Amino acid sequence: MNNLVTLSTTAIILYFTAAVSQLYPLHKLAISSKQLLLGLGIMAAALHAIVLDQTLLTPIGINLGFFKAASLVAWVIVVLLLLTMLRQPVENLLIVILPIAALTIGIEEYFQSYQILPLAYSQFGVTLHIFSSILAYSFLSISAVQALFLAYQDYQLHHKHPGWVMQRLPPLRVMENLLFQMIGLGFTLLSVSLASGLVFLEDIFAQHLVHKTVLSITAWFVFAILLWGHWFYGWRGRTAIRWNLSGFLVLMLAYFGTKLVLELILKRG
């Protein structure tokens, strides 16, 4: 237990240190701020993975309780952004995401939640559904954070008050391209998640999944309309931001709103 606390604490410190290193670059170091962020982020994510391995896996199955699922999703988002950072300028997204990942580790340590997925459920279809769901939510979470940065960037440009945040952000066109890349990947994975869930989950009503399914399908339509509008009518800017954030809010209700009600309020974990 003490070893787990040490790992969690170290991961939290590394996450916050990595974020701060981007806010206050250390120019005297021999490495660039991007290299420092990448190195600290990888170390923190590795420790976070060990913590998840020790807390999610139980003798009777995988614990995907509310707080543990939040920690898992945060870890996946961090890993995806670290990989994306090798080719795209997403350092500013990590400034927001890394502290959130650190907080999920801390919250997971203090608040226990349980929703055990029995080992008997580890068939291909269910595994595909869970894996694609987590990845879809992660990519669309990244797109939501990207949309918030875009909204701020658009506001600053229209009001002609370029602050230090604006000076650190990539050009608007680069930000928008990255936004739609993330939405496209997330939408594809959400489609796989919904298809596999409808095929492989035997009875969504008995499993209290009807609300999650309806909200997920609603989010799917929102993102589908957004991508259709972007491809055929050139939707971008504020229109794209509004549709993207609306879809993400519905999806967040589907994933974590449902878990919150079932596990923490109705105690049906």
Q: Do both 65 and 169 map to the same domain? A: no
Q: Do both 132 and 95 map to the same domain? A: no
Q: Within the chain, which residues score under 50 in pLDDT?
A: none
Q: Which domain does 238 fall in, by range?
A: 123-269
- Of 54, 89, 118, the residue that ends a domain is 118
pTM of the predicted model over 0.85: yes
pLDDT of residue 208: 57
Q: Do both 148 and 72 map to the same domain? A: no
Query: Cβ distance 60 to 116 under 8 Å?
Result: yes
Q: Do both 81 and 158 map to the same domain? A: no
pLDDT tens figures, 198-239? 877 665 555 556 778 889 999 999 999 999 999 999 998 889
What is the DSSP-derived secondary structure letter of residue 121? Answer: G
- Of 66, 98, 118, the residue that ends a domain is 118
Q: Do both 68 and 147 map to the same domain? A: no
pLDDT of residue 153: 79
pLDDT tens figures, 20-37? 888 776 555 657 778 889
DSSP string, 9-78: HHHHHHHHHHHHHHHS--TTSSS-HHHHHHHHHHHHHHHHHHHHHHHHEETTEEE--HHHHHHHHHHHHH
Q: How far is CA 68 from CA 4, 115, 138, 170, 264, in A?
A: 14, 9, 15, 33, 13
- Of 102, 118, 134, the residue that ends a domain is 118
Burial class (CB in 10 A: 0-12, 13-18, 19+), 218: middle
Q: Do both 170 and 114 map to the same domain? A: no
Q: Do both 100 and 230 map to the same domain? A: no
pLDDT of residue 27: 55
Q: Do both 90 and 131 map to the same domain? A: no
Q: Do both 133 and 168 map to the same domain? A: yes
Q: Do both 65 and 93 map to the same domain? A: yes
What is the number of domains present in the chain? 2
| CB-facing half-sphere around the CA of 130: CA atoms within 13 A | 13
Q: Do both 149 and 92 map to the same domain? A: no
Q: Do both 162 and 265 map to the same domain? A: yes
pLDDT of residue 166: 54
